[in-house]
Structure formats: C-alpha cells, structure tokens
Chain A
Amino acid sequence: MSAIPVDPTSAGNGVISQPTPAASETNYINEFGGLKSWLLTGDHKRIAILYLISVTFFFFLGSLAAAMIRWELTAPAGVVLESDTYNKVFSSHGVIMVFTFLVVAIPSVFGNFFLPIMIGARDMAFPRLNLLSWYLYMAGGILILAGMINGGVDGGWTFYTPYSSMYSNSNVTLVLTGVFIIGFSSITTGINFIVTTHKMRAPGMTWFRLPLFVWAHYATAVVIILGTPVVAITLLLVVFERAFKLPIFNPELGGDPVLFQHLFWFYSHPAVYIMILPAFGIISELIANFARKRVFGYHFIAFSTLAIAGLGFLVWGHHMFISSQSMYQGIVFSLISFLVAVPSAIKVFNWTATLYKANIRLQSPMLYALGFIGLFTVGGLTGLFLGSMGTDVHLTATYFVVAHFHYVMVGGTMTAFLGGLHYWWPKMTGRLYAEGIAKANAIIVFLGFNLTFFPQFIVGWLGMPRRYHYYYLAPEYQVYNIMSTLGSGFLGIGFLLPAFYLSKSLVSGRKASANPWGAHGLEWEIPSPPPSTNFLQIPIVLDEVYDFDPVTEYEQDRAQQAIENSHEHPGMMDSHDETASKLEEGGH
C-alpha cells in the first residue's frame, strides 16, 4: 500500500506531481513535423511506430506466401505451383514470418513503446542505438526481400547444412546475410532493454513493482543477448562456406553438418521464447486490467518467466531426436523439455486463477487474451507429444509439428500482438476504434485460427509430411486440407479487418482519454498520445503493481470520469501550462 496518502480522485494512483492528463496539446506525434524528424528520431515511441509499420508490411508479405501454400494444398496433386516454386514459397513464408515478424514484432513495437513508460523513464537508455536497430532491421529485411524477388530461397527457414551450404542454387547467401543483420537489430534492442530495466527505473519502482510486461521483456532480452550471437556466427559460417569455401560443416572434408543443427537450435529453440515471452507479458497486462484484479501469484509469474528463459537454453536437442543424436542425449533433452512445461503451466493456471471471482470486462483486448489462454494451452500440451522421444519419431516433420508451432506462434504470439495492439492503440494514437467490430474480429480470429490449424493436427497424426505439396497417394488428406484452407480465409479476414478499422479510427475515431480502459500502470497516467518526454516530471511510484482495490474501484472510476468530462479544473490546468512552457524553453 501507499506510503503517502493519495488523493482518491486523482488520476495518477500513487504517483505524485503528475500534471493532469488528457489536456495536452503537444505530443510525440505532433511536436516535430516532417519525414526527417521521424527517420532521425531518438524517441522510443516514434521508433516503435516505425517498427509497427514495418512489421505489418512484412507480416502481410508472409501471409501472402501462406495463402499460396494453402491454395496449393487444396488438391492432392497441387493446384498452381511447381515443386521448385512451392519450396521457395514455404521457405519465404518461414523466413519472413520468423525473422522479420515473430522475433521482432512485440518487443520492438510494444516493448519499445511501453517499457520505458512503464518504469517511469523518459526514454530508452540508448536512443541512438534504438534507432540503429530499426535501420539494421530494415537493411536486413530489404536484403531478404531482394533475395526472394531475385529468384527466391529454398530449403526452409532452418537452412540445414549441407544442403544450404553446398547444394542449394538459390539465394541462400543473400537471405542469410539479411538474417545476420536482423540478428544485430535484435541484439541492440536486447541491450537497450536490459540497461533500461536495470538503470532507468523511476524512484520507488522496485523490481517487484514492475509490471509483468517488463519482466517478460527483461527475460526476452536476456535470451536475445545469449542466443542471437550464436546463430549469427553459425549463419555467417554458412555464408563464408558458400562465398569463400571456408569448410566448417562440409562432410566431404570431415566437417559435421549436424553440428550446424546443434548451433542453430541452441539459438532457435530459445528464439521460440523470444517470440512467446513478450506475448506472455501482454497477456498478464490484459488479464489483470480487464479482470480488475492483481494477477494471482505475481511473483510466480515473474520467476516462471526467468525459469523459461533459463531452461529454454537446455532443450534444443528435442529438435534433433532423429538427427543422429545419441539416445541418452535424447532422454536428457526430453526430460528437460518436460520441465519447461512447469513454468508455462504456472502462467496459465495463474491467469485462470486471476479470473476467478473477478469483475471481468469482456472488451476486445480481453477477448484476445482469453483466446490466447486456450490456444496457447493446446499449443503447449501438444509440445509434450513432440518432446517425448517415442511419439516424436512418429510425428517428426509431419503436419502435427506445423499445427503445434502455429498454435504457439500464431495462436499465441499473433493473438497477443493483436490483443496488445487493441489495448494500447488509444494510448499510441490518441484515438478510439469501433469496439463492436473489434470484438467481432477477435471472435473471427479465434474461430478462423482453429479451423485452419486443428485439422492439421489430425492430418499430421495420420502421417501427412510437412513441406510436401503432392499427396495424391493419400487423397484422404484432402478434406482436412480443404478445412484448413477455408479457415485460413477467415483468419485472413481477421488479420485484414483491423488494418481497416484501426486506420479508420485515425481519421474519424473519437479522441481517447488518458485511461480509456480504467487500467493501472504508469502508461495510463500520462496523456494519450504521450508527450515526447513521456513524463513532464519523473514520477515517484508509491503503490504496488495492479493495485486494484475492489471497494473503491467504482468510486475511482466515477471520479476519473468526472475529471475527464470537465476540462476546466483550474488548479491542474495551471500547473500543466507551467510545465508545458518549461518544456518549450528546454526544447528550443
């Protein structure tokens, strides 16, 4: 509880000396004008917006490839694509989605925007490094696209040697160079998150007052800085092998191609947690704020995040049960893989326990969060099938694997991304979108997703291998593939609709108040959209995180609405004007 009594009618719960929100004229969007002010910005919020536009662009490219795959698979003998083209299309889908969307999206958009605000900082510790990370991302993304336009790349997103290093005639070198550069974009973001979380917290913002979103991004950053350099050097060695004949994984000279798989999965399994931990962070925020309760077992969720980050580095061998790995190695990797299920389950149980007897508000972000819990649970439990050596031999490289990781990556990360986008959209843009269509969209995404990927569990269990586009010897697979393609159509609608109604809100949406959801957290105590420096004065944090008081919550809501409705609050307006003019003087 607060050490200093707090005025219950103030919008800033437990935060002293914040001027009144919702009355700000200059914000991070309109303070500086012109394209140059965006491309040379150091403001973490503007960089987040640059990232939001870029990752959306790459996501739609990856989705186009996915649509082509689904179309091709509707008939047992293929529909439009040659085998060679099909190989390139599914490789493009994997490379674009993994490296330019999933790894990057949530940390670089929402992490960049909200991590400094949530801990009460003016900016990231290293704003210029932050901007550099966006330029690296774009450079890498453009190289990857150049490789794909200029003939494409085959062999899948995993680039297994010796195919990628010795035999593939596609643009492996160009695409891997792009991935390598994007790796550095990840690393710079990770360093920024770690330093910012350690050194930039506002007075009173102790480690156990951090929102779980910040914990999740901190753990993600640790995984990024430990894992990404390893895959960077591994992919670089493949590039060197292709470009300079530097033999590292070449079996003809005594090199070990399976060593590539070990090094690759040493990063790429933790990379799964780079993709899903930030999503956990978003879901924790959504569950707490729409259930109007402190998250059940806050400490357990925080520590389970770190446990996942740590254990995640010890399980890579479960990708290699059939890659000449010794059986005893397999047993150990299998056992540790089961252990990862424990902290993941802790999260799911704790979110569910938070809902118990809660005052749940079923607004659109919450619908995504509830969908996430269901989909992630399915994705996580089917992971146990693949972590068991016996069942994995049957299921390896079938559509069961495809369905499993899409349940985690799309059902998990993408759903959380949409949930976060809907939750923070009013804060990022200052506009409210149409809630009705947003709710309907959450349901379309949930149903479309299940129709797309649940049949893939069945068809994979029946034995359909991934990465094949002909199945005319097993026409019984067709019905599942048609269901899946049908579902992907709905899913596509669910991804396109937000692009329209969110864009529309920019033009004709109502102005958002500082805290349209009645949520807790520092980001809701500053105006929407926030001013360039986030806080006119650095806040002093006095209350606990998610400190919802069920008794006074109703009164606080009413009091806050009163503040929002009456813009003539004399005392507060004065103090705001004063600080705003100080800001002007300082800036010019």
Chain B
Amino acid sequence: MAAIAHDTHEDHGALHHQFENIEQQNDSYIVGMWTFLVTEVMFFGALFLIYTLYRSMYQMDWYLAHEELDVKLGAFNTIVLLISSFTVAVAVRSAQRKERGLVLANIGITIACAFIFLVVKAFEYSAKFEHHLYPGPTFGSVPEHLNGANANYAQLFYGLYFGMTGLHALHIIVGIIVLSALFNLWWRKCDSVMKDYIPTELVGLYWHFVDLVWIFLFPLMYLMPKPH
C-alpha cells in the first residue's frame, strides 16, 4: 500500500498508513477491541441465558448432577487464572514503561498459567468421560455418578457444562496463541510493540475477558446452593 505524503503524518515505526497519527491509531485499536469484546459478551450471553432457563426448570436435578464436579480442581483453576490476570496486568504496565524483561517474564508466566489451566481441565474432562457423563447414548450408564438425578436433565446440565467450558477452553487456546505471538514480537524487539504499548494492552484486554468468563462459569457450574 502506498504511504501517503501528508504534513501531519508522523514518522512512527508502529503507525499504519490509514491513520494520521499514533493517537488516532491507538484510539481506534482500543475502540475496536472493546467492540469485539461486546460481541463476545453477546456470544456467551446467549449461553448464560440458556443456562438460567434450564437451571430454573430443573433445580434439584442440576444440583445433584453438579455434585459430581470437582470443586477443588475448579477452585485451583480459578486461582491459576486470577494469577494470570495479575501477571498480564503487570505485563501491560511494564509495556507502558518499556521494561522489556518484565514484559517477557510476565507474558511467560501468563502462558504457563494458561497451560496449567488446560491440563487440569483435561483431567476433569477425562474423569467425566470415564464416568459416562458426556452427552450421547451412553450418558448415565454408570448410575452411581448421577447421584440420583434424572438422567435426562443431568444430560442437559452436562451438555451445557461441556458446551460452555469447552468454548471457554477454546478461548484459552486462542489466548495462548495470541500471547505467544506477542511474546515473540517482544523477544525480537519489534517496533510494533516496543514503540507502542497498545498491542500488549489489547492482548491484555482479551485475556481479562477470558478470565472473567471463567469467574462466572466457576460459581454457576461448581458452586450451586442446595435448592429448598
């Protein structure tokens, strides 16, 4: 693309041709990211709506079905993600202060946390598969793991459990890819991140959103109160 000759067009290593100056570019990136997060909220919002409806319809069976989930592993994963949120916030702050070493270290810890989360999740999933708690014709074929819940309604619960935590895990995987790309840019001292903290900020926003979804998923899935 032709870069245009223009009086006010700054010479800035991270500036793209369509923008007048770095402030306009940064503003655009931030507005764009928040707009994208709005679409993500609507995306998960529909799932939370479905969850709310079915939980209100089948409270007791869902309560009994949820007892099979491992609260300790869920809580551990929650702590892991909270730590990763903190490190990503530190990474953004370090990017603003152009402290490359701190940025690299904190992005590295964040990626490590993401992997730990996925590994724990994989253990949880495999336990559910062993107990035949995945949706399909064999669901509930080991009845003691249903805790006396109606197998059909329990299957709805596990359908949403796998659907929602699965889509969340997919977002974690995308997060790992994006964080790794960012790590790579910092590692190679690219202008696009060194001269402008906004790319780091955008990845941070995304990662906070992914964590926030889990902050809702954990109590909804793992911490149901006993219905009266």
Interface string of B146-181 (1 = CB under 8 A from A): 000010110110011011000000000000000000
Cβ-defined contact, B2 with A31, below 8 A: yes
Please report which residues of chain B, range 1-43, place their CB below 8 angstroms from some CB of chain A when the two chains form the complex: 1-8, 16-20, 24, 27-28, 31-32, 35-36, 38-40, 42-43
| In contact, B53 and A586 (Cβ under 8 angstroms) | no
Q: Which residues of the other chain, B, contact A254 by a CB distance below 8 angstroms?
A: 54, 57-58, 150, 152-153, 156
Chain B residues near A255: list those with CB within 8 A.
Answer: 54, 156
A232 within 8 A of B: yes
Within A208-262, the residues touching B (CB, 8 Å) are 225-230, 232-234, 237, 240, 244-248, 252-256, 259
Q: Is A587 in contact with B2, judged by CB distance below 8 angstroms? A: yes
Rounded to whole angstroms, the CA-CA distance of A16 and B155 in the bound complex is 67
User: A133–B21 Cα gap in the complex (Å)?
Assistant: 25
Check B46 against A586 for contact (C-beta < 8 Å): no
A532 to B1, CA, bound (A): 8
Q: Which residues of B contact A233 (CB under 8 A)?
A: 43-44, 46-47
| Candidates A126, A253, A536, A585; contact of B32 at CB < 8 Å | A126
Closest B residue to A202 by CB, please name it.
B20
B152 and A253 contact, CB distance less than 8 A? yes
Residues of A in contact (CB 8 Å), total 54
A125 to B29, CA, bound (A): 8
Name the one of B32, B47, B137, B155 contacting A191, with C-beta atoms under 8 angstroms. Answer: B32
The one of A199, A229, A245, A536 that contacts B39, using a Cβ cutoff of 8 Å: A229
Q: CB within 8 A of A229: which of B4, B32, B40, B156?
A: B40
Considering the chains assembled together, what is the distance between the CA atoms of A194 and B28 in angstroms? 10
Inter-chain contact B2/A256, CB cutoff 8 Å? no
Q: Are A246 and B2 in contact (CB under 8 A)?
A: no
Please tell me which one of the listed residues A245, A266, A579 contacts residue B137 in the complex, with CB atoms under 8 A apart: A245
**Interface pair B35/A586, CB less than 8 Å apart:** no
User: Is the C-beta of A123 less than 8 angstroms from some C-beta in chain B?
Assistant: yes
Residues A194 and B6 in contact in the complex (CB < 8 Å), given A245-B136, A532-B1:
no
From A221, which residue of chain B is reached at the shortest CB distance?
B35
Could you tell me if A229 and B35 are in contact, using CB atoms closer than 8 angstroms? no
Measured between beta carbons, the chain B residues less than 8 angstroms from A124 are: 18
A155 within 8 A of B: no
Whether the pair A191, B35 counts as a contact (CB closer than 8 A) is yes
Neighbouring A residues of B35 by C-beta, 8 Å: 190-191, 194-195, 225
A199 touches B28 (CB 8 A): yes
| Contact yes or no, A122 B24, CB < 8 A | no
In Å, the complex CA distance between A105 and B80 comes to 45
B18 adjacent to A121 (CB under 8 Å): yes
B199 in the interface (beta carbon within 8 A)? no
B100-141 CB mask vs A (1 if < 8 Å, else 0) is: 000000000000000000000000000000000001110000
CA distance A537 to B7 in the complex (A): 9
> Chain A 465-487 against B: per-residue CB contact (8 Å), 1 yes, 0 no?
00000000000000000000000
In the bound complex, CA of A248 to CA of B43 (Å): 16
B135 in contact with A225 (CB, 8 Å): no
Residue on B nearest A193 in the bound complex, by CB: B35
Q: Please give me the residue from chain B that is nearest to A247 by CB atom.
A: B159
Cα A43 to Cα B155 with chains together (Å): 49
Q: Which of A127, A245, A252 sits near B152, CB closer than 8 Å?
A: A252
- A292 CA to B49 CA in the complex, in Å? 50
Assess whether A42 is in contact with B1, with CB atoms less than 8 Å apart.
yes
Q: Which of A244, A259, A533, A536 lies in contact with B53, CB distance below 8 A?
A: A259
A226 / chain B contacts, CB cutoff of 8 Å:
38-39, 42
Let me know if A228 and B39 touch, CB within 8 A.
yes
Contact yes or no, B4 A586, CB < 8 A: yes
- A42-B1, A200-B24 known, 18 other contacts, Cβ within 8 Å: A121-B18, A125-B32, A194-B35, A195-B35, A200-B18, A228-B39, A229-B42, A232-B43, A233-B47, A245-B135, A247-B135, A252-B152, A253-B155, A254-B54, A263-B50, A533-B17, A579-B5, A586-B4
Give the interface of A toward B (CB within 8 A).
Answer: 31, 42-43, 121-127, 187, 190-192, 194-195, 198-200, 225-230, 232-234, 237, 240, 244-248, 252-256, 259, 263, 266, 532-533, 536-538, 579, 582-583, 585-587
27 A-B residue pairings within 8 Å (CB atoms): A31-B2, A122-B4, A122-B17, A125-B19, A126-B28, A191-B36, A194-B32, A194-B35, A195-B35, A198-B28, A200-B19, A229-B39, A229-B46, A230-B45, A232-B43, A244-B136, A245-B135, A247-B155, A252-B152, A253-B155, A255-B156, A259-B53, A532-B1, A533-B2, A533-B17, A538-B6, A585-B5
